[in-house]
Chains A and B, each alone.
Chain A
Amino acid sequence: MFNKLFRVGIMLITLVLIGGCGIPVTPIDMIKPPIAEGSIQRDKISIELINLLPVEVQLIAPLQGRESNDISFGDMDGDGINEAVVVYEENKATGKMLKAALFKQHNEKWRIISQVEGFGYGLEYAGFPDLDHDGRSELVLGWSLGEAGGGLDVYGFSGDELKLLSREDYHGQLDLE
């Protein structure tokens, strides 16, 4: 009797798992670096910024850049206080999605003021060079599609959000400034 109940239970659970909650996550999507709590010595700002991001995302460091760090700083609005950009990868049911989040410091408090989507397999470059030499930095994100080349997004800061200034392809080594 107990055996039968047990089997029916297993069947129902399987049914709920597969039928009720959609297809379970594929093994390849489950590969993630271990979350080592406290072991990574991040500075205070990094921790504060990461806490603002959605949970279970993975930070991406640009392949090249002046600071080979997953967080870049630059002053976009010319107020003398640096903004920060973090690029991360989000796992959605339809696949992975690249996103960049811009943080602004306000009264010692960081908050996300804008998020933009990215394309391709990875991040080539993320930084704040002053491309038009007006004293205010632009946010430049270089996305890569392997040997096919890459795409370069240049964002300016207008009002309170990011505005796409240009989007073009590049091939070979990135050369900014």
Chain B
Amino acid sequence: MGIQKRLVGSYVTVITITVFILEIFLIISVRYYYLHNVERALWNQAELSASFFQQYFTGEDLEKQSDRLLKGFAHNSEAQVQIILPSGRLLQDSSGLPGNNTMAEYTDVQEAIIGQPSTWKGKVASTRGDILAVSFPLQTNGITVGVVRFVTSLTETLNTINRIAAILIGVGLLVIAIVTVLGLLLSWTITRSIRDLKRAADRMTEGDFSIKVRKRYQDELGSLADTLNMMANRILKSEQLKNDFISSVSHELRTPLTSIKGWIITMKSNGADNKPLLLEGLEIIDSESDRLAHMVDELLDFSKMDNGRIVMHFGPVHLPELLDHIGRQLAPRATRQGISFEIEMDKNIPVIQADENRMKQVFINIIDNSLKFTAPFGRIVVQAHTPPGQIVITIEDTGSGIAEGDLEYVLQKFYKANQNASGSGLGLSISAQIIKLHYGELRITSEMGRGTKVSIYLPTEEKRNLTIS
């Protein structure tokens, strides 16, 4: 069942029950009020007549004064007034009913004859509709000499009650109708938003993320629409990022391939007689295939890291040794580029537990970056020192630096400050991940035009155990 049906249904149910209870209550009240008041009025008149008789008219015989009494009793009343003898014989009747009728069959008359005022309600064959009768004993010195009986037709009263009941029921139905319409409107405002959301979600399922959900109200559904829009936006953005990455990676892979292909063609055509050309070609092909292999390794690393499948092989690593080794490896390139490359280390750097190959990858990556962005006559300094509990390695260059706006993104995967720069945009991201897997931290500070400083914080053995436990 739809939300609209459920909402309207429950609303109408509640209202119907409420109105129903109210109607029953009101109709019973009105009925009771009318009948009770009619009875009370009759009772009062009968009591007044009987008590007046008892006080003043006891001297004379009832039969003799009955004519006069009837006029007096009926004086203030619209009701039919009867005077009945204790035998049950009708003595006088204000509506001209023939005398000598016996009234003893009515319970109120029977009660009054034995001295108890009483009422009776019911149907009489000779009249139309229900009647209400009140009988009071007429007493002389405690002896009942007769009965005065006030009789009214209830037709008018019951008609009035029915009319009021009809009005009440009509109003109740009107209320239910109004509430139903209001409920439909109300639920429509809710289901409309939900339908919008569903339509948008359907479109997104089909892959169309450019759709925007319309936000109709500032409510929970409104914020859901916002969330959905935001989600679509992010998906679009990451899609964009992915496309950029693929195109840049293809480009990156293509450049060495083109170079290799070109040299092979050159060597094929005239490499046979030209030995130096052959050697140079082979040299270039070697380095270019290294570049390719490096890039493919990076991609593999990245995909592993993204799936959480990368495994660290921890072993004892002596950082000064490692850095020395890297220094020796990269010094020729620095010299070739005319950059001074220095490594300064505290002698007391302890041996730590780390994945040596991964650490090497990180340092080479960062220093390679520095070499890439530092002009000739620049300077790259690698320092390592040990504040208590950790080892800090800083790689500082006098390169081009990173713009402030780009700084916060450089650790993100695929991010490249310059889309045309070479590389996959994964290097720094992977390095930061590796340091993180060593329970350390990688921070970058930079100033445009002045240089960049990369700081790696690694916990020492004791500290790391503490952190882990």
Chain A residues close to B by CB (< 8 Å): 4, 7, 11, 14-15, 18, 23-24, 26, 28, 94-96, 119-121, 143, 145-152, 167-169, 171
Contacts and interface: CB of A to CB of B under 8 A. Distances in A.
Given A7-B18, A119-B52, 4 more contacts: A95-B47, A145-B73, A148-B57, A149-B72
B44 A147 contact: no
A146 B21 CA distance: 48
25 contacts: A4-B18, A7-B18, A11-B21, A14-B26, A23-B32, A26-B37, A26-B40, A28-B41, A94-B40, A95-B43, A119-B51, A120-B52, A143-B52, A146-B75, A147-B68, A147-B72, A148-B71, A148-B73, A149-B57, A149-B72, A151-B55, A167-B55, A167-B56, A168-B56, A168-B59
B409 interface: no
Nearest to B33: A23
B136 to A, nearest CB: 13
Contacts of B279: none
Interface string B20-46: 011001100100110011001101100
Contacts of B26: 14
A171 to B, nearest CB: 8
Contact of A11 (B22, B36, B44, B69): B22
B348 interface: no
Nearest to B22: A11
A7 B44 CA distance: 37
B72 A145 contact: yes
Interface string B252-263: 000000000000
Nearest to B18: A7
B37 to A, nearest CB: 5
Given A11-B22, A14-B25, A26-B37, A151 B56 contact: yes
Contacts of B29: 14, 18
Contact of B75 (A28, A148, A169): A148
A7 B57 CA distance: 56
Given A95-B44, A121-B76, A169-B56, A145 B49 contact: yes
Q: Which of A24, A94, A148, A149 has the most CB of B within 10 A?
A: A148
Interface in B335-373: none
B185 interface: no
Contact of B40 (A18, A95, A120, A152): A95
Contact of B57 (A18, A26, A169): A169
B375 to A, nearest CB: 73
A119 B55 contact: yes
B143 interface: no
A171 B71 CA distance: 13
A149 B72 CA distance: 7
A11 B41 CA distance: 28
Contacts of A168: 56, 59
B48 interface: yes
Contacts of A120: 48, 52
Contacts of B14: 4
B30 to A, nearest CB: 10
B56 A121 contact: no
A11 to B, nearest CB: 6
Q: Helix, strand, loop or mixed for chain B's interface? A: helix
B22 A7 contact: yes
A169 B60 CA distance: 10
Q: Which 6 A-B pairs have the closest CB atoms?
A: A148-B72, A146-B75, A151-B56, A95-B44, A147-B71, A169-B56
Contacts of A145: 49, 52, 56, 72-73, 75
Contacts of B32: 23
A122 B39 CA distance: 22
B48 A119 contact: yes
B451 to A, nearest CB: 66
A4 B18 CA distance: 9
A143 B53 CA distance: 12
Contacts of B40: 26, 94-95
Interface string B55-95: 11101000000001111110110000000000000000000
A146 B56 contact: no
A171 B41 CA distance: 27
Contacts of B69: 148
A168 B52 CA distance: 11
A99 to B, nearest CB: 14
Nearest to B14: A4
Contacts of B59: 168-169
Contacts of A119: 48, 51-52, 55-56
A175 B145 CA distance: 30
A146 B44 contact: no
A14 B69 CA distance: 43
Contacts of A169: 56-57, 59
B55 A147 contact: no
Contact of B72 (A23, A28, A146): A146
Nearest to A122: B76
Contacts of A18: 29
A98 to B, nearest CB: 10
Contacts of B56: 119, 143, 145, 149-152, 167-169
Nearest to A27: B37
Nearest to B45: A95
Interface in B1-28: 14, 18, 21-22, 25-26
